[in-house]
Amino acid sequence: MELIRLTPLDLAITAGLMLLMAALSWRLHLGVERRLLISAARSIVQLSLVGLLLRSIFDAESLWMIGGISLVMLTAAGYEVMARQKQRYRGGWGFGIGAVSMFLSSFTMTLAALVVIIGVEPWYAPQYLIPLLGMLLGNTMSGVAVALDNLTQNARRLRREIEGRLILGQTWHQAIDDIRRDALRSGLIPIINAMAAAGLVSLPGMMTGQILSGSPPMEAAKYQIMIMLLIATGTGLGAILAVWIGSRRLFDERHRLRLDRLQ
């Protein structure tokens, strides 16, 4: 079956549905209609620009261009992690913790998939690398953001308990160990739920896209299984790295809790 192409009218109909949702928000006094419309407008502009840009990159297959767009993706993900924190780290740490943890996890998982599992030639083929990296970064970003937010908020909320443990002679590792475990659990819950519901409650994005483009359903399922497992591993590694770096940043060399390093 050939791919059915969407017309401007088709997209206009879906945009009308979003306007209806914004009107309902206004009518019910939810207060999110402005954010809905701004987010929808941003997604339309961003996805349109990405579609035009990727066409040029796919045609060129330039390693430098692919490296550049990968860096832009990582930078945007690092900023989003920082922006989602209620208690941000001061200075460059707010951006750096998320960016470094996602680079070490998502990029590693992407390279493993391209070189070891799929065996793409060349390994930086943009039609494989960019979508895989985007899915891994997007999901890892959410896990890292949730885990870091949980860590910093609980560290501030349980300040007296942490300082009490330090006074009793515990190291910073021991004093914040329970909080770190809770933060990691919170960061992994979304991907655990997504894996548990995949196939029964929902068809994940990559599988849906491949089926719509005409791929055999079983082949689409195999790719989706690979992606889900890579995402789970990447999210876990990213959250572990971010929480470890973030928790270490909350203490100085003398094992004193330093909440002044948070905004």
pLDDT tens for each residue of 56-112 = 777 777 788 888 888 999 999 999 899 888 888 988 898 999 999 999 999 999 998
CB neighbourhood size of 161 (10 A): 15
Task: Give the per-residue pLDDT at 202.
Answer: 63
Rounded average pLDDT over 13-26: 90
- Amino acid residing at 48: S
For 85, counting Cβ atoms within 10 Å of its Cβ (0-12 exposed, 13-18 middle, 19+ buried), the class is: buried
19 vs 120: CA distance, rounded Å? 42
Position with higher pLDDT, 100 vs 190: 100
Give the residue extent of every domain in the chain: 1-60, 63-261
Task: Give the per-residue pLDDT at 3.
Answer: 64
